[in-house]
C-alpha cells in the first residue's frame, strides 16, 4: 500500500462530489524573523480567494469547500498551525498574526482577494483588511464576531486538547477523537487526525498545532486554559476596531448551531455599515459540515454566481 501524504485523500473526496482534482501544491514563505509561513495553492492561476482557518485547524479544513468552489485559491496555515512555524511568544491573536498573512498575500496574490476567515482566521482576516485595504476586495468571516467569547467552544473540545500531547500511533488519536464525539465518521476522523498531526523523530505522534500543547501545559499546571476576562475585553475591543475600519464589503456567515448567536449577528450588522449576514444550518465548523453551501456563498461573493 503506498504511503499516505497530505494529498492522498483528495481523489476520494473529489470522486464523491463528481469533481476533478485541481492542481494543489504546498507553498512556503520564509519570514524576516526566521519563522516560515506555509499554505496550499489550489489551481494554476493566481488566487482569487484566500482562506484562513480557525484555532486548532489547518489549511486542509477547506479541502472539500475548495473542491466545490472550483476557483484558484490560497489556503494558509496560520502561525502555530499546520506546517507553519510556532511562535515563541504564543501570541496567537489577530493583530499579531495579520502581518504574516499580509506577507503571504504580497508574495502569492497578484490581485485583491476575497478573504475568507473562520473563527480565529476571521478575526485575523478583519485585521488584514483593516490595515491593508489594497489587498482585500471582500471580507467573509465564518461564525465569529469580536463579541463572541473565544473560550465558548464546547467543553469536550477543551478537555480533548488538554489531554496528553503525544501518542504511540495515529490510531490512538483517532480513537480518542471518536470517544469525545469529535471528527464525525471514523473515516473523516482518520483523515482529520492524519492532516493535523505529525510523527516525531522518536516515533511518537503529536498534534501539529501549538494550541494543544499550550492547553495541556496549562491544565497540567492547574491553570484555567481559557482566555482571562481582561484579555477577552482587549480582543473584543481591537476586533471591533478592525471590523469597523474595513473598507471592503463584509459578509458574516453564521452557523445556526455555532458560536455566533442571532444577537451577535445583529450587533455586527449594527456596528458594520452594510454588512451582509448569511445563515447556514451548521455548527461552528461550517466549512466541514456544509462545504457545498459555504462554497456557493463564497462563489457568489467572488464572481456573482453561486452555481458551480
Q: Annotated catalytic sites, by residue?
A: 119, 143, 284
Instruction: Kindly tell me the number of DSSP H helices and DSSP E strands found in the chain.
Output: 12, 11
Distance CA 67, CA 62 (A): 9
CB atoms within 10 A of CB 75: 26
Name the strand (E) or helix (H) holding 216. Answer: helix 210-220
Cα 22 from Cα 237, distance rounded (Å): 40
Q: Are strands 166-167 and 197-199 parallel, antiparallel or unpaired?
A: unpaired
Cell of 134: 489594497
Cβ atoms of residues 112 and 137 within 8 Å: yes
Q: Give me the torsion for CA of 48, 52, 58, 59, rounded to 10°.
A: 0
| DSSP H/E element including 178 | helix 170-179
How far is residue 68 from each of residues 73, 102, 239, 284, 307, measured CA to CA in Å? Answer: 12, 26, 30, 19, 10
Cα 39 from Cα 26, distance rounded (Å): 6
Please report, to the nearest 10 degrees, the dihedral formed by the alpha carbons of residues 26, 30, 34, 36 taken in order: -30
Amino acid at each position: 500500500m503506498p504511503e499516505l501524504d497530505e494529498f492522498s485523500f483528495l481523489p476520494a473526496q473529489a470522486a464523491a462530489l463528481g469533481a476533478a482534482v485541481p492542481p494543489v501544491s504546498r507553498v512556503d514563505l520564509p519570514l524576516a524573523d526566521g519563522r516560515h509561513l506555509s499554505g496550499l495553492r489550489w489551481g494554476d492561476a493566481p488566487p482569487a480567494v484566500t482562506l484562513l482557518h480557525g484555532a486548532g485547524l489547518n489549511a486542509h479544513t477547506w479541502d472539500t469547500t475548495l473542491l466545490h468552489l472550483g476557483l484558484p485559491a490560497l489556503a494558509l496555515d496560520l502561525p502555530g498551525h499546520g506546517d507553519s512555524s510556532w511562535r515563541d511568544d504564543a501570541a496567537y491573536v489577530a493583530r499579531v498574526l495579520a502581518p504574516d498573512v499580509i506577507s503571504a498575500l504580497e508574495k502569492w496574490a497578484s490581485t485583491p482577494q476575497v478573504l475568507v476567515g473562520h473563527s480565529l482566521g476571521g478575526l485575523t482576516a478583519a485585521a488584514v483588511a483593516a490595515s491593508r485595504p489594497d489587498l482585500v476586495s471582500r471580507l467573509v468571516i465564518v461564525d465569529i464576531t469580536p463579541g463572541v467569547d473565544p473560550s465558548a467552544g464546547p467543553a469536550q473540545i477543551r478537555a480533548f486538547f488538554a489531554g496528553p500531547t503525544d501518542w504511540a500511533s495515529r490510531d490512538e488519536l483517532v480513537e480518542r477523537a471518536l470517544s469525545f464525539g469529535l471528527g464525525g465518521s471514523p473515516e473523516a476522523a482518520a483523515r482529520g487526525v492524519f492532516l493535523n498531526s505529525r510523527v516525531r523523530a522518536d516515533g511518537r505522534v503529536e498534534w501539529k498545532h501549538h494550541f494543544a500543547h499550550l492547553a495541556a501545559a496549562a491544565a497540567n499546571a492547574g491553570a484555567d486554559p481559557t482566555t482571562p476576562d481582561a484579555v477577552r475585553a482587549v480582543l473584543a475591543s481591537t476586533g471591533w476596531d478592525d471590523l469597523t475600519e474595513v473598507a471592503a464589503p463584509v459578509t458574516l456567515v453564521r452557523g445556526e448551531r455555532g458560536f455566533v448567536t442571532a444577537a451577535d449577528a445583529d450587533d455586527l450588522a449594527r456596528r458594520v455599515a452594510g454588512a451582509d449576514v448569511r445563515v447556514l444550518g451548521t455548527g461552528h465548523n461550517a466549512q466541514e459540515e456544509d462545504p457545498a453551501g459555504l462554497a456557493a456563498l463564497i462563489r457568489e461573493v467572488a464572481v456573482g454566481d453561486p452555481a458551480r
